[in-house]
Amino acid sequence: MGRHIEKDTVEEELDPRTTLEIEAFLAWLDVQRGLSPTTQIAYGTDLRQLALFLAQRGASLARPAEVSKKHIQAWLARLYALGEAKSSMARKLAAARTFFRYQQRMGRTENNVAAQVRNPKQEQRHPRVLNVDQAFAVLDTPDALAVSGSPRIPPATGDALAARDHALAELLYGSGLRISEALGLDVTDLRLEEGVARVFGKGARERMSPLSDTSVTALRAWLEQRGTLAPEHEKALFVGARGGRLDRREAMRRIERLCHNAGVEPVSPHALRHSFATHLLDAGADLRSVQELLGHQRLTTTQRYTRVSLERLMHLYDEAHPRAQKK
């Protein structure tokens, strides 16, 4: 039932008991929390790093009651000294908190020492967005290299890749999906006649996401070509050149290529989602509706887009309004 979680070479340096403790936690995480495989892999790596740090100080994750708040603080201080990004440190701390919460439930410790440590203060970074013209250029400019083919790509395969990439980009911008949500879609999740898709977001939360007319058209075009790449038994909506589910790294590379073809500075797939939200707010959509469309659990997560939208509005005002012109 559980998904396979990759191991890393750090595990070879840990004592067997600690390794088993981490594996038991990851198995519990897979069943109970519904986190994505990517997050589970990251948590496993983070805990192995923490375990090595503790081992150097005579402590062990296999004896969670002996780990103190000072151990966790010292670990974070070490990460900071090594130049770890604060966002990465926050994720590692989240992994430790979840691990000790699990240990509390198992009755192996009374305290969640990681929960007693504050998150590293994050710099407020506004999400990067494309303007409407740039977004349309990315979606409307065909991938000439894929369509025309190359000595290594047969024309039929090139056509299929181009149709796939266009459909993926339309979903990211037209429906505001996370890249993990888009890549996790199966063909059976689409209801094109109704103009919706069943999407599984963070924490395996399910929602119905509306599809734009252009997204439906692009998806139909891709489904007609999909058989060129996908074997008959494959459930994934988006597949790679070898027929399996398209992976995140290749999807990011393909979106960057679409940007390059359109003469737009390359952006991540997530920037198309950011653009979706910002353009909706620019057009007067209410915050609660945007929250639902994005699949955010908390309204505060959505509110950061209002800041981006306001900054864009003020920039437009400064550029266009006669009373705002600088002399």
Active-site residue list: 178, 202, 270, 273, 296, 305
Which letter, b or e, does each residue of 132-152 get, where b requires 16 or more Cβ atoms within 10 Å of its Cβ? eebbebbbebebeebeebeee
Q: How far apart are CA 237 and CA 164, in angstroms?
A: 9
Which letter, b or e, does each residue of 65-82 get, where b requires 16 or more Cβ atoms within 10 Å of its Cβ? eebeeebbeebbeebeee
DSSP H or E segment with residue 251: helix 248-261
Contact 264, 134 (CB under 8 A): yes
Contact 182, 171 (CB under 8 A): yes
Among positive and negative, which fits the CA dihedral 279, 281, 284, 285?
positive
Count of residues making up the chain: 327
DSSP H or E segment with residue 206: strand 206-210
Nearest to 238 by CA among 272, 189, 294: 189
Express the helix, strand and coil content of the chain in percent, nearest 5 each: 60, 5, 35
What are the φ/ψ torsions at residue 125 (nearest 5 degrees)?
A: -110, 130
Q: How far apart are CA 310 and CA 316, in angstroms?
A: 10
